[in-house]
Amino acid sequence: MKAVIIGSGIGGMATAIRLASLGFETEVFEQNSFYGGKINSKQIGAYRFDRGPSVFTEPHLIDELLGLDSNNDDEFSYVKLPISCCYFFEDGTRVALPTGSKAVADVLSEELGEDKKNIYSCLKALERNYNAVYPVFIKVSLHRIGHWLNRNILRAIKRIPFYGLFHTMNRVNSKTFKNNKTVQIFNRFATYNGSDPFKSPGMFNIIAHLELNIGPFMPKGGMVAISDSVYKKAVDMGVRFHFDTRIEEICYNDGKVSGIKHSGGVVECELVTSNMDVHFTYEKLLPNLKSPLKILSQEKSSSAIVFYWGIRKSFDSLDVHNIFFSEAYEEEFNHLFVKKSLIEDPTVYIHISSKIEKSDAPDGCENWFVMVNAPIDSGQDWTAQKDNLRTNVIKKLSGILKEDIAPLIEIEEQLDPAMMERMYSGKNGSIYGNASNSTLASFYRHPNFSRHLYGLYFAGVTVHPGGGIPLALNSAAIVERCVRKDFSIGQ
């Protein structure tokens, strides 16, 4: 049997590997000239940049996909970062958070006056919550009772009172911590799926478990090494890739997928998996099929503006991951999701891979991936928005770092929401599809299969279980499980 994957993002390539392992003749069609989706790389002068996701957690999922027993130096390797992130505040406070519940508790106690036992207890509770939720929410389809109805469901149900499902992240964190700076640090994990901590449920505090209790990692060669390794594995398994090829339609007949159509013709197949944004999958590829309006009409996740800067200096106060917080954090999210605009004092994230990968920048220099959360594209003048934002970001960073950043910028490129939509086919430039700004939003993500077309599946960050590399990889595993059942493979 033949399978077609639309899109070569990490979810699409992972699905291709899994379907090839089931015996499907598998082909991947990609509109761009490169694989990896947002996990791609670009050389600008003497500087190399990872252009998209920069936080790497749960590396065992890649090891599993590649068939590696552990961190393998030859095929795919990574290092654990000793500092999860450096946090900077306008009053001059700098908090370099290590990894591990005890170490985090020590630092937050010393730097921000938190109760050490309370921090430790909170982090261990997040660990228990994550371990309870993972097997019945993240690892399986919520839309097939046979997936989540297992022995783990009782443990997950017992912990419902501890999830914070019916309170916002901000409310939960404000009640848990004494210092507003600590609250802000924990609130910011809502942005990992493009949401608002003042609206999204406290359940999403479990994201902090992966970064604080376990820690982030850095692949050897940068984030693009993830895409490179997965692509190589797929090719080694016989998966065929077609680049610069835009799919025009998903073909079907009598309720079954029959193939796909592109500019070069029609490819017949029994199975199609869309790694494309689920909104555009229906709008552009299935215009005559009834679409799930309740899901597709939900509020979309945030987008971003990114400045890729080659900096002619090395800053000892910065680490691989850095956050410069806005003093008006709640108002910043109001601008993102209500006013659809940028605040004058934005929160700024800086990723510097050259702290680990020395060849990513010349000696004594650094490659700054400077990102600010932005609203989705609704017709804003992004040229004017970026110019104003650039001025504000340079002013903010220069003030906190005590040095004028502007003359240090040797090379520069930019990315905005409209460009993201064109390059990555994300509806309105949204990064993660739908936001999770309500209690039940996470339960309304599109399933990993079609209820109307036999043989149609969905993978990637815009469908269940959600945004980020680990969840995209899990979506591929869910597709494999569904395909095994639907096509009676290994039954």
Q: Is residue 166 part of a domain?
A: yes
Confidence (pLDDT) at 269: 98
**Cα→Cα distances 36→59, 98, 244, 417, 463, Å:** 17, 30, 13, 19, 17
Task: Tell me: do 131 and 277 sit in the same domain.
Answer: no
- Whether 72 shows a pLDDT value over 70: the answer reads no
Local confidence band at 328 (pLDDT 50, 70, 90 cut-offs):
very high
For residue 204, being part of any structural domain is answered with yes
Residues 118, 28 within the same domain: no
Report which DSSP code applies to 169: H
Task: Report the pLDDT averaged over residues 238-260.
Answer: 97
Domain match, 106 and 154 both: yes
**Would the CA dihedral through 212, 445, 134, 139 be positive or negative?**
negative
Flag whether the pTM goes above 0.85.
Answer: yes
Residues 6+ apart with CB under 8 A from 223: 39, 41, 50, 52, 53, 54, 56, 353
Q: Is the pLDDT of residue 73 over 70?
A: no
Q: Look at residues 165, 198, 214 and tell me which one is the last residue of a structural domain.
A: 214
DSSP for 207-276, please give it.
HHIIIIII--EEETT-THHHHHHHHHHHHHTT-EEE-S--EEEEEEETTEEEEEEETTEEEE-SEEEE-S
* Domain assignment present for 226: yes
Does 181 lie in the same domain as 32?
no
Ranked by mean pLDDT, the top range of 71-80, 170-179, 291-300 is: 170-179
Q: Which of 191, 214, 237 represents a domain boundary (last residue)?
A: 214
Looking at the fold, whether 206 and 106 belong to one and the same domain comes out as: yes
Predicted pLDDT of residue 71: 63
226 lies in the same domain as 203: no
pLDDT, mean of residues 329-353: 97
Residue 438: which pLDDT band, with cuts at 50, 70 and 90? confident
Same domain, 159 and 12: no
63 found inside a domain? no
Over the Cα atoms of the chain, what is R_g? Answer: 22
Residues paired with residue 177 on neighbouring β-strands, in sequence order: none
Q: Is residue 381 part of a domain?
A: no
130 and 190 together in one domain: yes
When pLDDT is cut at 50, 70 and 90, the band that residue 146 belongs to is confident
Portion of the chain with pLDDT greater than 70, in percent: 99
pLDDT tens profile 263-295: 889 999 999 999 999 999 999 999 999 899 888
The reply to whether 169 and 268 lie within a common domain is no
Average model confidence (pLDDT) for the chain? 95
Q: Does residue 353 belong to any structural domain of this protein?
A: no
Based on the structure, what is the number of domains in the chain?
Answer: 2
Q: What angle do CA 487, 490, 491 make, to 5 degrees?
A: 80
Does a structural domain hold residue 387?
no
Looking at the fold, whether 141 and 233 belong to one and the same domain comes out as no
* Per-residue confidence (pLDDT) for residue 439, from 0 to 100: 79
Rounded to an integer, what distance in angstroms lies between the CA atom of residue 437 and that of residue 301? 9
Residue 87 lies in a domain: no
According to the model, what pLDDT value does residue 265 have?
93
* φ, ψ (nearest 5 deg) of residue 204: -75, 0
Using the predicted structure, report yes or no on whether residue 78 has a pLDDT greater than 90. Answer: yes
Residues 200 and 230 in one domain: no
Asked if pLDDT for residue 167 goes beyond 70, the answer is yes
Domain boundary among 184, 214, 244: 214
Of the listed ranges 107-116, 135-144, 309-318, 427-436, the least confidently predicted one is 135-144
Range of the domain at 22: 2-39+222-299+435-486
257 phi-psi bin (left φ>0, alpha ψ -120 to 50, beta other): beta
CATH number for position 251 = 3.50.50.60
Give the pLDDT of residue 241.
98
pLDDT tens for residues 1-48?
999 999 999 999 999 999 999 999 999 999 999 999 999 999 999 999
Same domain membership, residue 119 and residue 174:
yes
Region 230-253: mean pLDDT is 97
User: Quick one: what percent of the chain has pLDDT higher than 90?
Assistant: 87
